[in-house]
Chains A and B, each alone.
Chain A
């Protein structure tokens, strides 16, 4: 098309193209006016050029492998499996030291003699313990040992900032003499952490963030147990 054609048949570019994109019937003028036919043909050539040129845009040959490599890097549970070994060992060692310590009644604020701890597992809708990365809709099955502890609070946070479950303040925790057992559905993706608080003093009301609530519990002289991170995606 010549330079002059830029000025030709503006009506095609204002009305004709829009009608074409809307799938409307074209004004018969566009089928008879030579300038409009030329403008229409140029428009079709633009589309052809676009398709022709972009057909050469191809991803790098190994892109699928790179995607899976990135996925593997971003899956913390599988990359850091050694934590699953190290954590129980350290926990067992800590428990042994704690049990072997001399009895010092009245020496501090944490004077509860009963074991105080938390275990958690992941269940899906069918209550089967999941061995894979949890998905939204799966649940945390929580079991806290709280024998002899007067006041108990249990909380679950998503990404350390959103409180998704709390008991022990406004709502009493579902408690037997020795245990609190409950189940919390993880509706959205994120990193879920469970906080168990207990002791002789009343459990402070939740402020909403994990850090703040842990600090408040410690200030109140309560014991604090933090569960492992469960990532949902």
Chain B
């Protein structure tokens, strides 16, 4: 990868990045936005941005962490856009603020009964908690890597993951999933 970059072969470097991390980034996007079409769009955007920014890649982080950082930002953007769209069509503007324990505005995606239970249960987590759980278990990032990626202390992320797991467990059990 670095050799391709050093040769100024941006296309070659991007192709390699897509082969190495394309699936993992997609899984992360799907877990975050919980919608396959939106996940596919965000996923492509991540690599278009990577193409644009490759010449400026500082090499201070790994390519993997760098790509996940781009993906996280684009997923949060997609969630915000979705939230604004839904708010536009919501008559009751005085709805109570969501809390961590209850499904929030982002989680209305999980109302679709056809989504598998796991997707619905992931939707019960706030986006920052969802990010932490997905990066930790789905993508096997270390807390150090996660901390660099999201700009938080590893301890905060550890606590967030530990708080999220019982929420997921209870949700899956209530959906009839045998654990």
Measuring CB to CB, which residues of chain A are less than 8 angstroms from any residue of chain B? 1, 3, 6, 13, 17-18, 20-22, 41-43, 45-47, 49-51, 53-55, 57-60, 63-64, 66-68, 70-71, 74, 132, 135-136, 189, 233
Contact = CB atoms under 8 A, between A and B. Distances in A.
Given A3-B173, A21-B162, A132-B8, 13 more contacts: A1-B179, A18-B158, A22-B155, A22-B158, A46-B169, A49-B177, A51-B137, A54-B118, A57-B39, A63-B43, A66-B44, A67-B14, A233-B52
B30 interface: yes
A57 B56 contact: no
B48 A47 contact: no
Interface in B129-144: 133-134, 136-138, 143
6 contacts: A6-B170, A18-B158, A22-B158, A46-B172, A55-B27, A136-B55
B4 interface: no
A132 B7 CA distance: 14
B138 A54 contact: yes
A50 B48 contact: no
In this complex, the member of A46, A58, A66 whose beta carbon has the largest number of chain B beta carbons within 10 angstroms is A46
In this complex, the member of B22, B170, B179 whose beta carbon has the largest number of chain A beta carbons within 10 angstroms is B179
A46 B168 contact: yes
A13 B165 CA distance: 8
Contacts of B27: 54-55, 57
B43 A135 contact: no
Nearest to A60: B40
Interface string B133-161: 11011100001000000000001001101
A67 B116 contact: no
B22 A63 contact: yes
Interface string B10-25: 0100110010001100
B63 interface: no
Nearest to A38: B179
B28 to A, nearest CB: 9
B165 to A, nearest CB: 5
- Chain B: interface secondary structure? helix
Contacts of A13: 162, 165-166
Nearest to A44: B179
B66 interface: no
Given A64-B22, A189-B56, A17 B31 contact: no
Nearest to A55: B27
B40 A59 contact: yes
Interface string B37-52: 0011001100110011
Given A67-B18, A71-B48, A50 B133 contact: yes
B116 A53 contact: yes
B118 A18 contact: no
Nearest to B19: A64
Contact of B22 (A49, A54, A59, A70): A59
B158 A58 contact: no
Contacts of B172: 46, 49
A63 B179 contact: no
Contact of A67 (B44, B134, B168, B179): B44
Contacts of B119: 53
B40 A18 contact: no
A189 B43 contact: no
A50 B118 contact: yes
Contacts of B15: 64
A57 B31 contact: yes
